[in-house]
Amino acid sequence: MPTVEMLIAVGIAVLVIALGIAAKRMTLAWLRFRGRLIVVCPADEHGASVSLNTARAVLTAAGGNPDLLLSGCSHWPERAGCGQSCLSQISATPQNCRAHNILSNWYEGKFCARCGVALSQFYWGGMHPALLQSDGRTKRWGEIPPEHLLATLKASRPICFHCYLHDQTNRIAVTSVT
């Protein structure tokens, strides 16, 4: 009889381990694939903001590789019937499709276009760097729609928070005088 009890105990242990592995995979899939992601649309080579069917990705991740499917795209409804080939960018490196990481990588190793200070560390509090656009205006990256982020970064230069704040203060002062 102890053999049956031992088999049951081993079976329960194996089941608990399998459930733990599945739960870990599902949690990691949720963290990777939730929210808006930014990709380059293969159809027109422009940035697009997409969202995935997170429930599908999470549930299928339990068994191994998650099955990815778009649930929204900034290029829809015009391109709603696309082949969703942008999913290969997400499955290859989902972390590189997050605005946070795109911006952190873009600012890395750069210097403020106005004062020259190194922007080696990107701060996610209220005092993060901004962008100097080709027309001379400054913008915080939060003011840029996600689908325009990649194009805006290509056409902009980085500025530090202090220079951005200085520009905003001067803009308010000029506006209030006129």
pLDDT at position 165 is: 86
Measured distance CA(55)–CA(44) in Å, rounded:
28
Measured distance CA(115)–CA(158) in Å, rounded:
11
**47 by DSSP, 3-state: which?**
strand
pLDDT classification of 153: cutoffs 50, 70, 90: very high
pLDDT in tens, 157-170: 999 888 888 887 76
pLDDT in tens, 84-113: 999 999 988 999 999 888 988 888 889 999
Measured distance CA(118)–CA(111) in Å, rounded:
4
pLDDT in tens, 45-66: 999 999 999 999 999 998 888 9
pLDDT at position 168 is: 78
Mean pLDDT of 169-173: 63
Measured distance CA(124)–CA(99) in Å, rounded:
12
pTM of the shown model: 0.74
